[in-house]
Amino acid sequence: MERADVTGWPVNGLSPIFARPMAESLPIELDRLLRASDDVARAKAWAVFLDTYSRLILHAARSATTGYDDGMDAYAAALDGIRAEDYRKLRGYSVDPRSKFTTWLVVVVRRICLDKQRELYGRASSAERNAGVVSDERAARRRLANLTSAGIDLDSIEGMAGSAADEVVRAELCEALESSLNELSERDRLLLTLRFVDDLPAKRIAEVQGWPDHMAVYRRVNQLIAELKTKLRARGVDSSIP
């Protein structure tokens, strides 16, 4: 097909209409649905919207649940949630369409499903939260083991009930670590949290935080550990145990 030669057009031939920033254009199915002026038009537009996005909605709903039946229940709840209050959630995207619509839709559907589960089953119980605390303690010990030399046996410190002096040492270590961590950037803090608290593999961390690849994650983690070791030594933390 012969390409039109128009002065001032983008080199790739895209009309300026489609070269507009993302925020200015909604998916046509969404646009039609939100503009529908009566019940008949709205019903048709909703059918078209579902025809396009139902697979994605089902995928997102299933990702927030386990089991086929729960997934289908979640899918139904997601559709109800999307339609609620004259498609209030969809209108919310039209006001602030920074992200891709498909990404936003996945997040919204998952949140509808998770909110439904919380409504039915409540938030995590105290026991589960306590388990999180225990997990954090374990993660903290792992962090300290990584950050200092291998000479500190934190388990032995933990296990020595009634050893006040060791408790003091431990408290000082934690305080020094916390101070050092607070000096890191938010991005680096999150990186260490994902790595040492959530135990995410480097590849997933790269995807979440937008690192070029998993090697970049490893390099940065190692850099941060080296920096933290230096800071801890400056605060008087060394590898010896009383």
Site string for other proteins, 155-174 (x = CB under 8 A): -------------------x
Please choose, from the candidates 41, 116, 37, the residue with its C-alpha nearest in 3D space to the C-alpha of residue 79.
116
Residues in contact with 124: Cβ distance below 8 Å, sequence separation at least 6, in sequence order: 132
Candidates 80, 153, 172, 178: give the one binding other proteins (CB under 8 A): 178
Residues in contact with 204: Cβ distance below 8 Å, sequence separation at least 6, in sequence order: 194
Compute how many residues bind other proteins; rule: CB under 8 A: 79
122 binds other proteins (CB under 8 A): no
Planar angle of CA 30, 31, 34, nearest 5 degrees:
85
- Contact segment (CB under 8 A) with other proteins among 27-35, 67-75, 214-222, 229-237 equals 27-35
183 binds other proteins (CB under 8 A): no
60 binds other proteins (CB under 8 A): yes
127 binds other proteins (CB under 8 A): no
Q: Alpha helix locations (H) across the chain?
A: 28-35, 39-63, 68-95, 101-121, 126-147, 154-159, 164-182, 186-192, 202-209, 214-234
The least distance separating other proteins from the CB of residue 96, rounded to whole angstroms, comes to: 5
Structure-block tokens of residue 99: 């992200």
> Which residues, numbered 212-241, are part of the site for other proteins (CB under 8 A)?
none
The least distance separating other proteins from the CB of residue 58, rounded to whole angstroms, comes to: 9
179 binds other proteins (CB under 8 A): no
- Contact segment (CB under 8 A) with other proteins among 57-65, 146-154, 212-220, 222-230 equals 57-65
Q: Find the distance separating the first CA and the last CA of the chain, reported in whole Å.
A: 81
Candidates 45, 74, 78, 232: give the one binding other proteins (CB under 8 A): 45
Secondary structure letter of residue 52 according to DSSP: H
14 binds other proteins (CB under 8 A): yes
Euclidean distance between CA atoms 75 and 69, whole angstroms: 10
Structure-block tokens of residue 141: 């010990």
9 binds other proteins (CB under 8 A): yes
